[in-house]
Amino acid sequence: MSYRILLKDHRGLISISLLAMFTSTLGQSFFIGLFQAPISDHLGLSAGQFGTAYATVTLVSGFAVLRLGPSIDWIAPRRFALMVIAALLAGILMLTAAPWWGLGLVGLGLMRFCGQGMMTHLGNTLAGREFTTLRGRALGLASLGIMLGETLMPPLMAALLVWLGWKELWWLFVAVLALFWVPLLVRGPWPGAPAKRPTKGQRRGGPRPFRELRFWKLLPLLMILPVTMTGLFIYQAVMTEDLGSSLGVYALALTGMGIAKMPGALLGGRWVDKLGPIRLARLYLLPYALALVLAISVGGDIGIWAVMVGGGLAMGAQEPIATSVLIRIWGAKHLGTVRATLSAAMVFSTGIAPAVLGIAIDVGASFTAILTGMLGLLIIGWWLAQGVLRELKAQP
């Protein structure tokens, strides 16, 4: 019933947040990965060179999010959105029309920075900052934008590639997105910025999470999902072979993961509002932990399905929980600064994770051993966060 009230009374703001999250598809790894081969051919790069370049621009975009993400606390969100959309379009233009590989990589970096970085930052910050009693539900609804992209875009892009080239397909996607963005930019219920822009030479106010021990204690808990799932996505072929499954089963399970994110987000958002984010922060990784245990002990098709579906449920619930915990610690006024710090840390870690897993595979580690290591990291991250969560629960 509360979701219905939320959509009825705040349809415009929810639409902005959801569309921002869906637009981030253009910079997400799963979307760019669909076109890795033609992009590599276009830029004249081998698969290995593309992978190295992709990791490099991802790390650079992480630093950029850390530097520029806090500006949403003092730049009007409408203006912020316009700047991000303009930079995203410039990146697509440079990548698709680049006369040489260097300019194309700059375009790819802009897509990563504006897509996965700033668009998700915009959607999550607006949903988390502008709602109070229904914050969890608002964050849950906004996160459906990414889920729609992950579920709908791969099969749609594969079908349309029969008639269109990858460049034309990207611009068609941009044109469709413009049909939704233009009305919202012109007439949408955009809120104002909560803080004032720091004057030149003035030290920026607000929290500095990297300098607080409690942030570092929470970080492993919040990063275990994006880090480990990125590794599973990148090394899907090795995982399916070692566990005795197939890529066909993995493809179906990947769709199951996208579907599982929806109840994870909607139920997670609802429970955040009813039970509080602190209690849920202790529990939301349980489906993923159980899935890892099942994959390690059983393997096969069941193991692949368990990891994908369990990971989907936990990933769907993470955004409402994580953002609500950050607000509980540092407040909503500086959410842009805090979320930018978390987003940058996640970008760095997801850029490094494939390299670490690749080394483990090269030295002969089985994927069962890798999954066991992931489970161990999950337990350690959960344990490290307990002290901070107990302190927050004790606060009035």
Mean pLDDT for 340-359 is 77
Show the tokens assigned to 380.
């350690």
Average pLDDT score, the chain: 85
pLDDT of the residue at 198: 66
Mean pLDDT for 202-224 is 82
Of the candidates 185, 171, 205, the one whose C-alpha atom is nearest the C-alpha of residue 80 is 185
Show the tokens assigned to 250.
């993995």
Decide: 344 and 209 in contact? Cβ < 8 Å.
no
pLDDT digits (tens, 9 = 90+) for 300-324: 889 999 999 999 999 988 888 988 8
CA dihedral sign of residues 249, 251, 252, 255: positive
Reply yes or no on whether the pLDDT at 265 is more than 70. Answer: yes
365 φ, ψ (degrees, to nearest 5) = -70, 135
pLDDT digits (tens, 9 = 90+) for 61-118: 888 888 888 888 888 999 999 999 999 999 999 998 877 888 889 999 999 899 888 9
- Report how far apart the first and last C-alpha atoms of the chain are (Å, whole number): 28
Q: Pick 209-396's CATH classification: 1.10.3720.10, 3.30.360.10, 3.90.110.10, 1.20.1250.20.
A: 1.20.1250.20
Most confident of 120-124, 159-163, 191-195: 120-124
CATH number corresponding to 12-189: 1.20.1250.20
For the chain, the structural domain boundaries read: 12-189, 209-396
Mean pLDDT for 117-141 is 87
pTM assigned to the model: 0.82
Decide: 119 and 84 in contact? Cβ < 8 Å.
yes
Reply yes or no on whether the pLDDT at 123 is more than 60. Answer: yes
Structure-model confidence comparison of residues 357 and 278, the more confident one: 278
Decide whether 12-189 matches 209-396 in CATH topology: yes
Structure-model confidence comparison of residues 160 and 296, the more confident one: 296
Name the DSSP letter for residue 71.
Answer: G
Decide: 178 and 26 in contact? Cβ < 8 Å.
no
pLDDT of the residue at 134: 81
pLDDT of the residue at 91: 92
